[in-house]
Amino acid sequence: MSLTPIGGASGSSSHEPRHKITAASLQEHKLQHNPITCLTAYDYSAARLIDEAGIEMILVGDSLAQTMLGYENTLSVTVDEMLHHVKAVRRGVKSALLIADMPYGSYQIDPKAALSNATRFVKEGGAEMVKIEGGEKRADLIHRIIDAEIPVAGHIGLTPQSVNVMGGYKVQGKNLSGVEQLMRDAVALDRAGVACLFLEGIPREVAAMITAEVSTPTVGIGAGPECDGQVLVFHDLVNLTFGTPAKFVRHFADAGQLIRQAVQAYCAEVKAHKYPADEESYHLPKETRTGLETVLARKRAMRR
Ligand code: KIV
């Protein structure tokens, strides 16, 4: 491993210290029409870079099942796997609000287990909020978790944990009954007291209606520009994904290409004996070198 840890002086940001973002400050953003920025992060270094860049919320999304662990969907990731990543991200985040996604199976089976899992994300992982997928049917559970002093983010629309019920990753709320259901879901979660509401994969017009209707801030992904904030998966932002991106994805950088080029350049330099160069090598101190030369000269003389 490198002898220069990422946490060293060379890794620090020149940015001024920022205010800590809290569940309460999200509400301010909505009231002042100041868009909330959110990205996913799954490890220490990315979390630290994202936090230092000035993001408001960091979500350790269960999308890490796909982006980090290579699973086909999010269903198989466990609480323990999520916690492993939440703890790493916690160590990299200072100012942003840290949200942990509750994975499939950690809250659907039994409210007591749900409460105990949510508590683990706060106690062991250092999360400041947990996120739960689902609409009005989750309202009671969300209310209970908030009652246990844990802020909750709702998540409605295209909820990836429901992939088998939805029959694929499909935009939700495209017909009138779908729109009505989404409105009911949003209002129920708003009343339950969610600190923010993620809107995924829904028509822009519906997201705008929900945003105007609820008092909680909405954070959209594939939900158009009228939401109170936006979230993207970090790997989509920097093109570290494989396959065709969803319509809403914009690559703000091409880290995939950068990494490929860096690896190719490294391999070429190693093969050509150009890496490491002399300046990249450690050297013996002068006295040791002189001593060593004397020893070697003596050995050579004895051999003659
Ligand atoms: O898991 C995730 O990354 C998410 C976002 C897409 C909102 O839930």
pLDDT at 224 over 60: yes
Cα–Cα distance, 168 to 100 (Å, whole number) = 24
Nearest CA to ligand 1 atom 6: 233
CB 68, CB 44: distance < 8 Å = no
pLDDT value of position 15: 52
Q: What is the pLDDT of residues 55-114, one digit of tens each?
A: 999 999 999 999 999 999 999 999 999 999 999 999 999 999 999 999 999 999 999 999
Amino acid letter, residue 196: C
- Please work out whether the CB of residue 211 comes within 6 Å of at least one atom of ligand 1: no
| Structure tokens that stand for 95 in this block | 């100012």
Q: How far is the CA of 129 from the centre of ligand 1 (A)?
A: 14
Q: Is 200 a catalytic residue?
A: yes
Nearest CA to ligand 1 atom 2: 61
Ligand 1 atom nearest the C-alpha of 131 is: 8
pLDDT at 3 over 60: no
Nearest CA to ligand 1 atom 8: 61
DSSP state of 278: G
- Please work out whether the CB of residue 236 comes within 6 Å of at least one atom of ligand 1: no
CB 138, CB 191: distance < 8 Å = no
pLDDT at 1 over 60: no
What's the gap between Cα 279 and its chain centre?
38
CB 99, CB 62: distance < 8 Å = no
